[in-house]
Amino acid sequence: MWKKTRDFLDKLTPAQVITSYYLLAVTVSVLLLRLPGVHKPGVKVDFIDTVFTAISAVSVTGLSVVNISETYSVFGYFVIMAILQFGGVGIMAIGTFFWMILGRKIGLRSRKLIMVDHNQFALSGLVHLIREIIKIIFLIELIGALVLGFHFLNYYPSWEDAMLHGLFASISATTNGGMDITGNSLVPYAGDYFVQLINIILITLGAIGFPVLIEVKQYLFRKREEQEIPFRFTLFTKLTTLTFAGLLVVGTIIILVFEFQHYLKGLTWHKSFFYAFFQSATTRSGGLSTMDVSDFSMPTLLVMSLMMFIGASPSSVGGGIRTTTFALNILFVYHFAKGKMDVKIFNRELHHNDIMKSLVITILATIMCFTSVVLISITDSQHELIEIIFEVCSAFGTTGLSMGITAELSDFGKCILMILMFIGRIGLTSFLFIIGGKEQKANYHYPKERVIIG
Amino acid sequence: MWKKTRDFLDKLTPAQVITSYYLLAVTVSVLLLRLPGVHKPGVKVDFIDTVFTAISAVSVTGLSVVNISETYSVFGYFVIMAILQFGGVGIMAIGTFFWMILGRKIGLRSRKLIMVDHNQFALSGLVHLIREIIKIIFLIELIGALVLGFHFLNYYPSWEDAMLHGLFASISATTNGGMDITGNSLVPYAGDYFVQLINIILITLGAIGFPVLIEVKQYLFRKREEQEIPFRFTLFTKLTTLTFAGLLVVGTIIILVFEFQHYLKGLTWHKSFFYAFFQSATTRSGGLSTMDVSDFSMPTLLVMSLMMFIGASPSSVGGGIRTTTFALNILFVYHFAKGKMDVKIFNRELHHNDIMKSLVITILATIMCFTSVVLISITDSQHELIEIIFEVCSAFGTTGLSMGITAELSDFGKCILMILMFIGRIGLTSFLFIIGGKEQKANYHYPKERVIIG
Ligand SMILES: [K+]
Ligand SMILES: [K+]
């Protein structure tokens, strides 16, 4: 019996493992969210809304059909924090693990051997990695909770309230859960730049990708004798960090320019800057906001939709097509327009397979989101087109920003968003391998370096 | 002097020749449209609107800032018909010529020799090809004009009026010009299925791509002894024809389904069918319509925008990313999802370079249209998002269907549409080579067959 189970597990592809984990997590979450005492006294939640909340929390999206602070009890808050942990950190851990196993420069055959026969090794690797990830993320969350908690003593009368808000805010930001118990996201702290900065840092640490965190840790804690030789960050880390920073800066500038004469009109320069800066940072995958995004003008909403569609780094708590996919697209289009077929960056050359993959993922994601918009515009025709586009991109990017229509959507519309959150979270690459049912045939005969996509 | 000019011409890339021709045609058209007697007595047209009309006619888009029947005299009608000819047929001829020269299975070196030293050969080939194209298109137009002209005797009291309407309608349909002198597109013939069928046939013959017409002609007029061996159509012809037919059928079905309970409610089945069929066919690049498209519901308008974005065949009178680009995208995404990197179809394998090209063109076109929508939504914020999306896709696909906002756009908005019509018409591939300034490095060492893209 145990042998059979192990044989079965051995045959699972990474995509199948991630999907199974996701579906199991959703099931457990639904059960947890139906426990007695989870809701505030007298509150009833429809089953589909519980499922939606569970999927939204497991995929760390944060789109909400209910107001958390009005619906759930303090016990419920803790349940949601737990779900955010195993949704955000769990899937990140599994994704990172498989990337590290598959990313080693070993032949397909020996890799298969490692995966199938030596699964003791793989399992111990997984355990070690998950422990590492949990250690780092918990440390970040703990520091975040303490910093925010002490600061919140300025806002909340009781010690417990301040710490609860600090803890929830820290976990929601670090896992990019995007949920809130203030009842109105971070709008109460719209004038508090300290809270916003801490949130941006926590969101970024969660969304930048776990391989980056590991490498930075290795860089900071390397032994003295190693400090002689220059530390080499991987191409993945350089590319995803640069793209991340680029999107943050460009997003901030675009919001400032587009809203200068509109939402930001008459505000001080620092208030304008922080509105633009925070709303740019949160599109990566955070989903928290310091204002009602539906007050932005059409051009800004379109650009924010695109930025949510791009999403966060691979092997992170975020979704979307991923920063590296976007970077490879831009790099290849640029090189192609100049007549070159090979993409060189940071003294490395990109794999053609990776480029193809990034192009396909982008096109497929575009088709998927377009189809979703069309379908929702059939059943929920009372809503504006931009509202539907924004909500669809938010779900696919597992961002969770909302123009406020999610709760009003038909059950069909909610189902579409749930599917998008699922695919956005596990990544289109994984999703493709579930459908295709086949493992990726990696190509090892180029002297190039691999980059994670989608 | 003549030597110098020839040397200069020899050095031009195909993309530069097409662009030069386009810009020359626009300049001549602007001059022609400012001739005395072109306008109806007492009508004044702004210069930017003349430029817009010229570009719209040269790119055979048909988007209009003025009502042709109210603005231009009969002399003006003939000027417009002439512009549609050298816009539609001229660019198609040059594009086809270069494809045929570059498509021959000869080494890069001997091809360069042909292009540079033996340009006598190339020139005579060009002259022959242009003559061939003009012969076929004129024949189609003549038959169309006579058939429509005689039929229009039912509508117009005088012989001259009927023939003028027949000629203009035939040229507008065959060149996919999409312009009308009825004052209201084909709406007056919304109940006349014969006129609609003839228009669909003419539009299709113009938009299906000239290589297809040549091959069909070769097939029909081959000698008796050749009829023994089965005729082999090229992969390009098979692919573009199948895609064309597929889009027509799928478009018709989608419009029928989406508008069944909306625009088509209460209509007879044949009237419903023809509304759906004609509006599906016209999105390829025709631009004529039998109803006010803005009466369609949101989902239909979104799908029509996508279909216009896809556009017509390469080497045709149409625009967009082109049918083959779309087909290669879908084929590769499908194969990729099944874990295969090679695309086999019709017993042929596609070039990897072509696939890359098709993916890049699609992504670049998407970025371009998205940026255009954002920019227009800044300057023309009084319009609905779907109206802007629809008009942008219509311009890029050189389709010319309109939700009616083109005439109301700001000068900036009109400029964006003019740029889109230009790029859509010459094709993104050509456009890229203008920017990059380099010729495509074709890859000849695969035993595969080439397909034209974008
Ligand atoms: K989120
Ligand atoms: K047209």
- Cα separation, A295 vs A404, whole angstroms: 11
pLDDT digits (tens, 9 = 90+) for B157-174: 899 899 999 999 999 999
- Does B176 reside within a domain? yes
Give the pLDDT of residue B119. Answer: 39
Task: Give dist(CA A439, CA A430) in Å, integer.
Answer: 10
Asked if residue A452 belongs to a domain, the reply is: no
pLDDT tens for residues B233-260?
A: 778 888 889 999 999 999 999 999 999 8
pLDDT at B219 over 50: yes
pLDDT at A316: 85
Q: Which of A130-134, A294-298, B123-127 has the lowest mean pLDDT?
A: B123-127
User: Given the DSSP bridges, would you call strands A344-345 and A348-349 parallel, antiparallel or unpaired?
Assistant: antiparallel
Q: Is B381 on the interface with A (CB under 8 A)?
A: yes
Is B201 exposed, middle or buried, given 0-12, 13-18 or 19+ CB atoms closer than 10 A? Answer: middle
Q: Rounded to the nearest whole angstrom, what is the distance from the C-alpha of residue B368 to the centroid of ligand 1? A: 28
Pick the more confident residue, B341 or A174: A174
Q: Is residue A400 part of a domain?
A: yes
Closest Cα to residue B332, out of B247, B212, B453?
Answer: B453
B308: CA distance to ligand 2 center in Å? 10
Residue listed under structure tokens 């799928």 = B250
**Structure tokens that stand for B19 in this block:** 């662009």
Residue B136 lies in a domain: yes
Token readout for A63 is 């789109």
Residues A397, A427: contact at Cβ < 8 Å? no
In this model, does residue B60 exceed pLDDT 60?
yes
- Is pLDDT at A443 greater than 50 in this prediction? no
B114 within a domain of the structure (yes/no): yes
> What is the arithmetic mean of pLDDT over A57-62?
89
- Residue A442 predicted with pLDDT over 60: no
Strands (E), B33-105: none
Please give the DSSP secondary-structure letter assigned to residue B40: P
The pLDDT, as a whole number, for residue A118 is: 35
Which position has the higher pLDDT, A370 or A130?
A370
User: Three-state SS for A363?
Assistant: helix
| Confidence class for position A126, pLDDT limits 50, 70, 90 | low
Please report which confidence band the pLDDT of residue B107 belongs to, taking 50, 70 and 90 as the band edges: very low
Ligand with an atom nearest the CA of residue B175: 2
Q: Say if A28 falls within a structural domain.
A: yes
Across the interface, whether the CB atoms of B363 and A364 are under 8 A apart is answered: no
Model pLDDT, residue B410: 92
Whether the predicted pLDDT of B97 surpasses 70: no
> How would residue B2 be classed by pLDDT, with cut points 50, 70 and 90?
low
pLDDT at A58 exceeding the cut of 70: yes
pLDDT score of A452: 42
Q: What is the pLDDT of residue B99?
A: 62
pLDDT confidence of residue A120: 43
Q: Identify which ligand lies nearest to the alpha carbon of B180.
A: 2
Cβ of A357 and B363 within 8 Å? no
Mean pLDDT of A324-342: 85
Tell me what pLDDT residue B363 has: 93
A423 pLDDT more than 60: yes
Q: What is the ipTM of this complex?
A: 0.88
Nearest ligand to the CA atom of A424: 1
- Look at residue B298 and tell me whether its pLDDT is greater than 60: yes
Which tens digits make up the pLDDT trace of A73-99? 999 999 999 999 888 887 777 776 666
Average pLDDT on B131-142 reads 87
Confidence (pLDDT) at B441: 47
Residue B90's pLDDT is what? 78
Judged by average pLDDT, the poorest of A52-66, A407-421, B11-25, B141-155 is B11-25
Considering A73-77, A339-343, B111-115, B131-135, the range whose residues carry the highest mean pLDDT is: A73-77
Q: For A339-359, what is the mean pLDDT?
A: 79
A334 SS3 class? helix
pLDDT of residue A98: 66
Cα gap A79→A170, rounded to integer Å: 15
Q: What is the B439 CA–ligand 2 centroid distance (Å)?
A: 29
In this prediction, residue B276 carries a pLDDT of 94
The CA-based dihedral angle spanning residues B87, B89, B93, B99, taken in that order and rounded to the nearest 10 degrees: 80
Range of the domain at B242: 14-222+232-436
Determine the pLDDT at residue A6. Answer: 58
Residue entry with tokens 């083959």: B324
Spatial CB neighbours of B15, under 8 Å, sequence gap ≥ 6: B426, B429, B430, B431, B432, B433, B434
Query: Structurally, how many domains does chain A consist of?
Result: 1
* Residue B353 near residue B442 (C-beta atoms within 8 A): yes
pLDDT digits (tens, 9 = 90+) for B309-358: 999 988 888 899 999 899 989 988 888 887 777 777 777 777 777 788 88
Q: Which of B333, B366, B371 to mutate to test the interface with A (most CBs of A within 10 A)?
A: B333
- The token pair that represents B358 in the structure block: 């098709």
Kindly state the tokens that stand for B12: 């031009």
pLDDT band at A29 (very low <50, low <70, confident <90, very high): very high
Q: Is B232 left (phi over 0), alpha (psi -120 to 50) or beta?
A: beta
Q: Give distance in angstroms: CA of A176 to centre of ligand 1.
A: 5
Residue % of chain A over a pLDDT of 70:
85
Predicted local confidence at residue A184, as pLDDT = 85
Question: Confidence class of residue A297 from pLDDT cuts 50, 70 and 90?
Answer: very high
Residue B2 lies in a domain: no
pLDDT at B103 over 60: no
pLDDT-based confidence at B434, cuts 50/70/90? low
Residue A356 forms contact with B (CB below 8 Å): yes
Q: Report phi then psi at A72, rounded to 5.
A: -105, 150
What is the pLDDT at residue A63?
86
Looking at chain A from residue 419 to 438, which residues have their Cβ under 8 Å from any Cβ of chain B?
A: 432-433, 435-436, 438
Q: Is residue B451 part of a domain?
A: no
